[in-house]
Structure 1
Amino acid sequence: MGDTGGASAPSPQQARARASAITSGRSVPDARPSPTCQLRDLFDRPRLSPGQRRIAQYLIEHLPEAAFLSITDLADRVGVSQPSVTRFAAAVGFGGYPALRERLQSIALGGRGTAPAEEYRGNELQAAVDAEIANLTNLRHDLADADRVITTGRALAGSTPLTVLGLRISGSLAEYFAYAARRVHPDVRLVTRGGTVAYDALLQSRAAGGSWVLALSLPRHAHETLDAVRVARGAGLRVALITDLALGPVADAADVTFATGTGSRLVFDSYAAPGVMCAALLQAMTDADPERTHARLEGYEQVADQHQFFLRD
Structure 2
Amino acid sequence: MGDKVDGPAPSPQQARAQASAITSGGPATGAEAAPTSQLRALFDGPRLSPGQRRVAQYLIEHLTEAAFLSITELADRAGVSQPSVTRFASAVGFSGYPALRERLQSIALGALAGGPGEEDRANELQAAVDAEIQNLEHLRRDLADPERVIRVGRELSRSTPLTVLGLRISGSLAEYFGYAARRIHPDVRLVTRGGSVACDALLQSREAGGTWVLAFAMPRHAQETLAALRVAREAGLKVALITDLALGPLAEEADVTFATGTGSRLVFDSYAAPGLLAAALLQAMTDADPERTQARLEQYEQVADQQQFFLRD
Q: Same fold (TM over 0.5)?
A: yes
| 1:199 to partner: Cα distance | 0.8
Q: TM-score, normalised by structure 1?
A: 0.86
Matches of 1:47 and 1:115 in 2, distance apart? 28
User: What percentage of residue pairs aligned between the two structures are identical?
Assistant: 81
| Correspondence list, 1:66-215, <5 A | 66-111=66-111, 114=116, 122-215=122-215
Q: What are the Cα deviations for residues 63-115 of structure 1, in whole angstroms up to 9, with x where unaligned?
A: 12211111121111112222221122122221111111111122223339659
Kept in 2, the 8 Å contact 1:202–1:232? The answer is yes
Indicate the residue corresponding to 2:285 in structure 1.
285
Kept in 1, the 8 Å contact 2:46–2:91? The answer is no
Structure 1 letter corresponding to 2:254: A
| 1:41 to partner: Cα distance | 2.3
Matches of 1:106 and 1:67 in 2, distance apart? 9
| 1:300 to partner: Cα distance | 0.8
Q: For structure 1, which segment, 173-182 or 93-102, has the greater mean C-alpha deviation from structure 2 after superposition?
A: 93-102
Matches of 1:155 and 1:275 in 2, distance apart? 20
| 1:45 to partner: Cα distance | 4.8
Indicate the residue corresponding to 1:44 in structure 2.
44
Structure 2 letter corresponding to 1:124: E
Flag the 1:113–1:187 CA change in 2: closer, same or farther, 3 A.
Answer: farther
Flag the 1:247–1:97 CA change in 2: closer, same or farther, 3 A.
Answer: same
Matches of 2:143 and 2:214 in 1, distance apart? 18
Matches of 1:63 and 1:121 in 2, distance apart? 13
Displaced runs of 4+ in structure 1, greater than 4 A? 112-116
Q: What are the Cα deviations for residues 112-145 of structure 1, in whole angstroms up to 9, with x where unaligned?
A: 96599xx686322211111110000000000000
Matches of 1:129 and 1:207 in 2, distance apart? 44
Indicate the residue corresponding to 1:258 in structure 2.
258
Matches of 1:283 and 1:214 in 2, distance apart? 15
Indicate the residue corresponding to 1:23 in structure 2.
none
Indicate the residue corresponding to 1:273 in structure 2.
273
Structure 1 letter corresponding to 2:178: A
Matches of 2:282 and 2:48 in 1, distance apart? 30
Kept in 2, the 8 Å contact 1:194–1:228? The answer is yes
Indicate the residue corresponding to 2:34 in structure 1.
34
Structure 2 letter corresponding to 1:175: E
For the residue of structure 2 that corresponds to 1:183, the secondary structure is helix
Indicate the residue corresponding to 2:312 in structure 1.
312
Q: For structure 1, which segment, 214-223 or 44-53, has the greater mean C-alpha deviation from structure 2 after superposition?
A: 44-53
For the residue of structure 1 that corresponds to 2:183, the secondary structure is coil
Structure 2 letter corresponding to 1:160: T
Structure 2 letter corresponding to 1:293: T
| 1:298 to partner: Cα distance | 0.8
Query: RMSD between aligned alpha carbons?
Result: 1.8
Kept in 2, the 8 Å contact 1:161–1:209? The answer is yes
Kept in 2, the 8 Å contact 1:215–1:241? The answer is yes
Matches of 2:110 and 2:90 in 1, distance apart? 23
Kept in 2, the 8 Å contact 1:75–1:82? The answer is yes
- In structure 2, the gaps of 5 or more residues are 1-28
Indicate the residue corresponding to 1:27 in structure 2.
none
